[in-house]
Amino acid sequence: MSETLGHVETPSLILDLERLDRNLARMRDQLSRWPEVTFRPHMKTAKSVDVARRVLPDGGPIIVSTLHEAEYFFDHGFSDILYGVGVSPDKFPRIARLAERSARITVILDNLATAEALVVFAAETGLAIHVLIEIDTDGHRSGVAPDADILPPIGRVLDQAGLLRGVLTHAGESYGARSLEALHGFAELERSGAVRAAERLRAAGCSAPVVSVGSTPTALFAQDLTGVTEVRAGVFMFQDLVMAGAGVCTPEDLALSVLTTVIGHQAEKNWIITDAGWMALSRDRGTERQAVDQGYGLVCDVDGRRIGELVMVSANQEHGVIADRNGGAVSPEDFPVGTRLRILPNHACATAAQHGTYAVLQDGLITDRWNRERGW
Amino acid sequence: MSETLGHVETPSLILDLERLDRNLARMRDQLSRWPEVTFRPHMKTAKSVDVARRVLPDGGPIIVSTLHEAEYFFDHGFSDILYGVGVSPDKFPRIARLAERSARITVILDNLATAEALVVFAAETGLAIHVLIEIDTDGHRSGVAPDADILPPIGRVLDQAGLLRGVLTHAGESYGARSLEALHGFAELERSGAVRAAERLRAAGCSAPVVSVGSTPTALFAQDLTGVTEVRAGVFMFQDLVMAGAGVCTPEDLALSVLTTVIGHQAEKNWIITDAGWMALSRDRGTERQAVDQGYGLVCDVDGRRIGELVMVSANQEHGVIADRNGGAVSPEDFPVGTRLRILPNHACATAAQHGTYAVLQDGLITDRWNRERGW
């Protein structure tokens, strides 16, 4: 039962299927240069089995950010799952329950204490839990440096127990890129650091066949993947204004938008008031420190065409305020109460997280609703 | 089945029942000075019928921020519901469905176009939909100024159709208060503006018995409610660091916290890495422009006691970074992997919105799980 965008309840999260497919094709094209490299898409952005099946029509390996996602995707036929947040011992039993159901579960860790605890747990349960050591190639957050003294000892503890599979890194700092050179540089930083770490483990006698790298910017702009066996990315499916600001895509690539309704004006302030506040967009202000601050998002008409320099300049819980970014006049007559608008978000992961469903847009109509999973 | 905080899955949203009850008692005490004034708590923060019943054991009027909340609370026995976001005509049919079920529904609006559309709709359906005109007393967002020329015409359109009930204002700017004088000032600004608007409507021949004001700061610090018939507030139930920064409460009043587990360290940076990122805390940085920036939240031990000057300094989707706010040394040995911590949030509404349940803490144990509603 198709609906027009004029009839959908607002606020709603709109997923433009044509743009999604175009973004998926772009990544497939890029990675087709390295047919021997495994692609493991990150489901933390989409959190939807319908999207996952669009990305991987024949199934395939995925990475997730919560154990709830791991369980959800496993229940829907995805059995090769990497849990991409450093594991802690309190989560071992829940991971074990997946392994008992024959999930191929891989975890990551970056310290000796967790490695030793996992070795004990694996011996006690007899379960196959694969481990990648998290490598910090850009100072972003977690991980051991490729050249850290502690790397071989962690590797040996895991390898002697038959758990070690290799290394993983994520160049999170690449989101801050401002040029093509920077994007190429982050991709090479990620590759070279991960490969060096794997080689140090191998030199220490460990089996480390897997070298997993990835982020949307580095996956799309990698020029060399020598030594890499696996690439991961998630945001690329939808793209967002942060990615556009980093030169990774254009605003016309964004597959997500928030449909909203004009509920009033403050004419003397040149404000349009809408029913989409931070509850619908999230509090993410990821473009704030980029060259162009997009506020809470770029404003488009109901058909997805940008309207001059209108941006969502502020947000309350269920109210959005739209204005011209340069303070220009905005006439209430051009946007009467009831007008439908669409906001392109700063950060796809954060905005999508505020919603329980995607309203799937195809040929100008909402043709389907896809569930999104939340929680841990 | 009680659980200790050491056994609950992380991240989890913890609701301290004793603190909730203390916050409710404080508001009851404050408002007991005006027994003739109706209290209409805002359910946009709690979004939980269990919390609502704690606030209003005998039922009573509520305000909500979405029509989904209106339907949810009506289904759970709350029949006097104010929808506190300016209504637009596309939402009339859904409101009518509640009115048909004998809900006492009140809407707000601030423009002639919506008033006229509602009059037509009410005449067509024969439904009783009450209206308050939204008044802008502090330039915060929506509403007509108390002295605006358009106010009497809007009032007359509604009054002639028998829909007008009065006026409503919300001093959202009071969240930016920095002193007791400022808090008192915002309360008086709200009261005097709303009363003046109601008197103008009455002078124009309209029936406007209801004068509804409110926000957590103004409700708790009002000294005079002459002419006011109804007070609203929501955040007061849980309080948060923004309210503490505005002098409305102390961090020891905060009833919500996010339970998290240490998953690693970056020792040379004095970072503790946890499994609670912005997905668990939200991206809200509401204390950023206050006198004390609390990052993504204040860090407490598992029993809720603050730990020195530790704050959550940054957040990725499922990673939190904790550090000393002054850059002091943080020893990994003091916070080994697996350590449980609790983060006091900037903004109760935003942090709670990230969670589907409250883990209810009573006498040091999680004794219950309360559902939270999301969506529109």
pLDDT per residue, tens digit, chain A (376 aa), is 799 999 999 999 999 999 999 999 999 999 999 999 999 999 999 999 999 999 999 999 999 999 999 999 999 999 999 999 999 999 999 999 999 999 999 999 999 999 999 999 999 999 989 999 999 999 889 999 999 999 999 999 999 999 999 999 998 888 888 899 999 999 999 999 999 999 999 999 999 999 999 999 999 999 999 999 999 999 999 999 999 999 999 999 999 999 999 999 999 999 999 999 999 999 999 999 999 999 999 999 999 999 999 999 999 999 999 999 999 999 999 999 999 999 999 999 999 999 999 999 999 999 999 999 999 9
Interchain CB contact of B338 with A (< 8 Å): yes
> In this complex, which of B10, B317, B338 lies closest to A65 when CB atoms are compared?
B317
* Angle in degrees, CA B202, B208, B214, rounded to 5: 120
> In this complex, which of A94, A317, A321 lies closest to B349 when CB atoms are compared?
A317
Q: How far is CA B302 from CA A103, B255, B352, in A?
A: 33, 14, 19
Say what the pLDDT of residue B143 is: 97
Phi/psi at A17 (nearest 5 deg)?
-65, -35
Altogether, the residues listed in chain B come to a count of: 376
Tokens at residue A214, please?
Answer: 């990835």
Phi/psi at B116 (nearest 5 deg)?
-65, -40
- CA A101 to chain centroid, in Å, comes to 27
Distance from CA of B22 to the nearest CA of A (A): 25
How does pLDDT run along chain B (376 residues), one tens digit per residue? 799 999 999 999 999 999 999 999 999 999 999 999 999 999 999 999 999 999 999 999 999 999 999 999 999 999 999 999 999 999 999 999 999 999 999 999 999 999 999 999 999 999 989 999 999 999 889 999 999 999 999 999 999 999 999 999 998 888 888 899 999 999 999 999 999 999 999 999 999 999 999 999 999 999 999 999 999 999 999 999 999 999 999 999 999 999 999 999 999 999 999 999 999 999 999 999 999 999 999 999 999 999 999 999 999 999 999 999 999 999 999 999 999 999 999 999 999 999 999 999 999 999 999 999 999 9
> In this complex, which of B65, B279, B317 lies closest to A317 when CB atoms are compared?
B65
Residue with tokens 């890499």: A228
Distance from CA of A144 to the nearest CA of B (A): 8
Rounded distance between C-alpha atoms, residue A212 and residue A220, angstroms: 15
Q: What is the DSSP string of A53-68?
A: HHH-TT---EEESSHH
- Please name the residues between 37 and 76 in chain B that touch chain A, using a CB distance below 8 Å: 44, 65-66
Q: Residue A338 and residue B90: Cβ atoms within 8 Å?
A: yes
The b-or-e profile of A182-218 (16+ CB within 10 A means b, else e) is: bbbbbbbbbbbbbbbbbebbeeeebebebbbbbbbbb
DSSP state of B337: T
Interchain CB contact of A142 with B (< 8 Å): yes
> In this complex, which of B264, B282, B374 lies closest to A110 when CB atoms are compared?
B264
* Chain B interface test: which of A72, A120, A141 (most B C-beta within 10 Å): A141
Beta-bridge mates of residue B168: B134, B212
Interchain CB contact of B273 with A (< 8 Å): yes
Phi/psi at B46 (nearest 5 deg)?
-80, -45
> What ipTM was reported for this prediction?
0.97
Residues of B in contact with A354 (CB under 8 A): 353
Q: What is the DSSP string of A324-372?
A: ETT-----GGGS-TT-EEEEE-S-HHHHHTT-SEEEEEETTEEEEEEE-
The b-or-e profile of A135-166 (16+ CB within 10 A means b, else e) is: bbbbebbbbbbbebeebbebbbbbbebebbbb
Consecutive H or E run containing A227: none
Interchain CB contact of A86 with B (< 8 Å): yes
Alpha helix locations (H) across B214-299? 216-221, 241-245, 278-281
Cis? peptide before A11, omega within 30° of 0: yes
Rounded distance between C-alpha atoms, residue B127 and residue B121, angstroms: 9
Tokens at residue B7, please?
Answer: 């056994």
Rounded distance between C-alpha atoms, residue A114 and residue B36, angstroms: 61
The b-or-e profile of A90-120 (16+ CB within 10 A means b, else e) is: bbbeebbebbeeebbbbbbbbbebbbebbbe
Strand A298-301 with A306-315, pairing: antiparallel
Q: Residue B263 and residue A142: Cβ atoms within 8 Å?
A: yes
Rounded distance between C-alpha atoms, residue B228 and residue B222, angstroms: 11
DSSP reduced 3-state for B156: helix
Contact B297, B308 (CB under 8 A): no
Q: What is the DSSP string of B108-152?
A: EE-SHHHHHHHHHHHHHH----EEEEEE-SSSSSSSB-TT-TTHH
Tokens at residue B177, please?
Answer: 């208060």
pTM: predicted TM-score of the whole model, two decimal places: 0.97
First to last CA, chain B: 32
DSSP state of A289: T
Residues of A in contact with B350 (CB under 8 A): 278, 283, 317
> In this complex, which of A87, A280, A337 lies closest to B111 when CB atoms are compared?
A337
Interchain CB contact of B342 with A (< 8 Å): no
Distance from CA of A265 to the nearest CA of B (A): 7
Distance from CA of B5 to the nearest CA of A (A): 12
Residues of B in contact with A11 (CB under 8 A): 376
Beta-bridge mates of residue A12: A259
Q: Residue B318 and residue A136: Cβ atoms within 8 Å?
A: no
